[in-house]
Amino acid sequence: MASELERAMICLQNGDVKCLDAIYRLTSKGIFTFVLPIVKAYDVAEDVMQNTYIRAYENISSYTPGTNPRNWLLTIAKNLALGEVKKRSREISYDFNDENVETQGVYDLNPNLDTPTIDLANRVLNEGEMNIVLLYAIGGYKHREIAEMLNLPLGTVTSKYNAALKKIRIAYEKENEKK
């Protein structure tokens, strides 16, 4: 039995543009969460997410029914995100004065959406751990789905997630001891 997402993909293939709304509703949160660790900037992640749907619409004929539609969309998103990183890396100034060094964490999240917990996680987790935590906690993906997306064994994803939570918990306790 086809999932709601797969039915929407087939509907879009059949020319009904309204089905793109369902595809967006079912996947936008996950795609955004997936590309954010790659591009490391909230506004760029939003742009990449939007461009993913444009590219998917333009290339819907290449989607094969019966395959995983979420992975098809994530592949498009990943390719667009990597292209954006490559494009932006060419635009970076190579002035390495101390005043230009950023001391922020891995992710440049929208300050309006940052919470103390996300800020703490951003400071104590490495990129891989943060990616897994974001995909699970914000993206709503199951560990199995994250393992498929990142091409990692399920046990690795689960242990990295648990280790990340432990790091956050320890850092939180240390910060609260100081207060």
User: pLDDT, tens digit, for every residue of 120-158?
Assistant: 888 898 888 888 888 888 777 889 888 887 888 999 999
Give the pLDDT of residue 53: 97
Structure tokens belonging to residue 149: 């997306």
pLDDT above 90 for 5: yes
- Flag whether pLDDT at 115 surpasses 60: yes
Q: Give the residue range(s) of CATH 1.10.10.10 domains in the chain.
A: 115-179
Residue 179: what pLDDT? 64
Separation of alpha carbons 103 and 85, rounded Å: 20
For residues 52 and 48, give the distance between their C-alpha atoms in angstroms, rounded to a whole number. Answer: 6
Asked whether residue 73 carries a pLDDT value surpassing 90, the answer given is: yes
- Euclidean distance between CA atoms 76 and 116, whole angstroms: 32
In SS3 terms, 69-99 reads as: HHHHHHHHHHHHHHHHHHHHHHHCCCCCCHH
* Gap between the Cα atoms of 143 and 4, Å rounded: 21
Q: Report whether pLDDT(10) > 90.
A: yes
Indicate if the pLDDT at residue 92 is higher than 70. no
Q: Are the CB atoms for 168 and 121 separated by under 8 Å?
A: yes
Rounded-to-integer distance, Cα 167 and Cα 171, Å: 6
Check pLDDT > 70 for residue 108: no
Question: Lowest-pLDDT range, 25-29, 50-54, 118-122?
Answer: 118-122
pTM of the model: 0.62
Q: Which residues of 163-172 are buried (b: 16+ CB within 10 A; e: fewer)?
A: ebbebbeeee
Q: In the CATH scheme, what architecture does the domain 1-92 have? A: Orthogonal Bundle (1.10)
Q: Greater confidence, 115 or 60?
A: 60
Instruction: Give the pLDDT score at 101.
Output: 40
- DSSP 8-class letter at 100: G
Q: Does domain 115-179 have CATH number 1.10.600.10?
A: no
46: amino acid identity, one letter: E
Report the alpha-carbon distance of residue 9 to residue 3 in Å, rounded. 10
Structure confidence at residue 159 as a pLDDT band (50, 70, 90): very high
Q: How far apart are CA 161 and CA 167, in angstroms?
A: 10
The rounded distance, in Å, linking the Cα atoms of 160 and 35 is: 19
pLDDT at 91: 61
Q: Where in the chain is the domain with CATH 1.10.1740.10?
A: 1-92
Six-digit token pair at 47? 């742009």
